[in-house]
Amino acid sequence: MLDQGAPPQSPPTAAPLSTAARLMRRKPVERLVAEGGQGEGGTLRRSLGLWQLTMISIGATLGTGIFVVLGQAVPKAGPAVTLAFVIAGLTALFSALSYAELAGTIPVAGSSYSYAYATMGELIAWVCGWCLLLEYGVSVAAVAVGWGEYLNELLSGTIGVTLPKALANPPGVDGGVFNLPALIVVLLAMAFLLGGAKESARANTVMVCVKIAALVLFCAIGFMGFKSGNYANFMPLGMGGVSAAGATLFFSYIGFDAASTAGEEARNAQRDLPRAIMLSLVIVTALYVLVAAVAVGARPWRQFSDSEATLARIMRDVTGQDFWGTLLAFCAVIAIASVVLTVLYGQTRILFAMSRDGLVPKVFARVHPKTGAPRANTVIVSLFCGVLAAAIPLGQLADATSIGTLFAFALVNVAVVVLRRTRPEMKRTFRVPLSPVLPALGFLFCVWMMGSLSAVTWVVFGVWMAVGLVFYFGYGYRRSRLATDEALAVTAEK
C-alpha cells in the first residue's frame, strides 16, 4: 500500500558516464552509415564505381615498393627479396580480407578508424585514426621523394640536365637542402583533388594504366639480361634478412585500403568496396613479385643501392641505351604521381570522418558545395605533406609508415572478430573465410613484422602516439560529438 503522504518520486536521470566509459563508448554502425557523406556546408558525392575504386587502390599501392623501396630491400634479403614480397603480400592479404568484410558492412569514409569506433570504442578509434594519419601522410611524403629521383633521371635522359642536388634531395642526403620536386608533385595532386572525386579518379585511371604498361615493359626488357647465377645464393642473409626486408616492403602494400576511404563516394559501396580491395591486392602482388624477380635476375643483388631510380638504371644497363631507362623514368614519374594523388585522397577522407565526429577541428569536414570536395582539408594536408617530403629522408619515412600501417591493420583484424560477436545479425556482403582463424593470423603477422622494425622506428612511433594522446585528451575527448550528445541527453533528463 502506497504512502499517500510521501512526496512524488521524480523519474530517474541518466548519470554522467565515467572517464573509462567515455573512452570506451562506441558509435553505432547505423549512425555511422546514416551520416555518410554529410559534411560542414555540403555533402560528398557518390560518383565512383567498381572500376574507379579498384584503380584508386591500385593507384595508391602500385609503384611505392617497386619504383621506390626495392633498392633498399634487396641489400637486406638478397635474391630472396621475392620471398619478402610474398610474405609482405600474405600479411596484407589477411588484413585485406578483414578490410573487405568491414568495408562492405560499414561503408564510410573513415576506413579502419570508423571500424574501430563501431567495435572497440572511441579511444581505440582515435589511436587507429592517428596511426592512419602517420600511414597516409608520411607515405605521401616518402613517395614524393622518390618522384624527384625519377624526375632527375627523365630530365637527364631528355634534355641533358639535372636539378641541383641542393634542390633535388632532402636535408642530409647527398648535399640536399630542400627537395623541391617532392613539394611540386604533392601540390599537383592537390590541384586534381580540389576538382572533386570523379575528376581525380579519371586522372588516376590514366596514370595507373601508364604504370602497369611501364612495369610490363621493364619485365620484357629486363628478362633479356636475366642471369640465373644471380640466384645462386638465394638467401645470403638468412630468414632474419627476409623478415626485415618484408617489414620494409610492407610499405609498398599500404594503398590497398585506399578504396575503403571512398566509402561515402561510391555508388554501390557495400557491393563494390570488398571487390575493389581484393582485386587490387591480387594484381599488385603479382606485378611486384614478377618485377622483383626480373630485377634481381638482371643485376647481382650486391649491386643494388638505396637509390630510388633502380629500375631505370637496370634497363639502361641491360640495353646499353639511355632511351629505355629514360622511357621508364617518364612512366615512373606518372606512376608515382598517381600514388601521391590517391594516398593524399585517402588522408583527406579519414580526417573528414574524424572531424565530423568532433575529434579534430571542423575545418577538415567542410565540403565545397559545387565540387563536393573537402577543399580546406585538402589544402592543409597537402601543404603539410609537401613540406614533410621536402625535409625528411626517404628511409626514415618508409619505416615510420610501415609501423603505423601495421598497427592500424592489426586493429582491423580485431575489429572484424568483435563485430561478428557483437552484431552477428548484420548483413555482410563479404565474409572473411575461416574466421576468427584468418583475422588472428593477420593480427599475428602484423605484430611479427612490427617486431622486425628498428628501435629508432619504435621510438618515433612512441613519440607519435604520445603526441596523439595529448591531442585527444586536450581536444577530442571533450569535443567528441558522442560526448556532446550524451551531455545534452543528461541535461534533458534532469
Q: Note the pLDDT of residue 13.
A: 47
How confident is the model over 91-110, as pLDDT tens digits?
788 999 999 999 999 988 88
Residues 6+ positions from 238 with CB-CB distance below 8 Å? none
Residue 18 resides in a domain: no
Residue 46 has pLDDT above 60, yes or no: yes
pLDDT, the chain, mean: 84
How confident is the model over 327-378, as pLDDT tens digits?
877 887 888 889 889 989 989 999 999 999 999 999 999 998 888 889 999 9
Question: For residue 230, what is the DSSP state?
Answer: G
Residue 35 resides in a domain: no
Residue 252 resides in a domain: yes
Counting residues of the chain whose pLDDT is more than 90, the rounded percentage is: 31
Counted domains in the chain: 1
Measured CA to CA in angstroms, residue 455 lies from 144, 214, 241, 399, 446 at distances of 25, 36, 16, 11, 17
Three-class SS of residue 38? strand
Contact criterion met (CB below 8 Å) for 197 and 55: no
Q: Note the pLDDT of residue 64.
A: 60
Residue 484 has pLDDT above 80, yes or no: no
Burial class of residue 453, CB neighbours in 10 A (0-12, 13-18, 19+): buried
Q: Note the pLDDT of residue 355.
A: 93
Q: How far apart are the first and last CA of the chain?
A: 28
Residue 91 resides in a domain: yes
For residue 159, how many other CB atoms are within 10 A of its CB? Answer: 8
Residue 374 resides in a domain: yes
**94: containing domain:** 44-482
Residue 184 resides in a domain: yes
- Nearest alpha carbon to residue 74 among 281, 339, 297: 297
Residue 279 has pLDDT above 70, yes or no: yes
Q: Which three cell numbers stand for residue 367?
A: 565540403
* Cα dihedral across residues 59, 62, 67, 71: positive or negative: positive
Which band of pLDDT confidence, cut at 50, 70 and 90, is reported for residue 52? very high
Q: Note the pLDDT of residue 11.
A: 45
Q: What is the mean pLDDT of the segment spanning 121-149?
A: 84
Which band of pLDDT confidence, cut at 50, 70 and 90, is reported for residue 6? very low
pTM of the model: 0.84
Q: Note the pLDDT of residue 245.
A: 87
Residue 37 resides in a domain: no
Gap between the Cα atoms of 373 and 366, Å rounded? 8
Residue 33 resides in a domain: no
CATH of the domain at 81: 1.20.1740.10
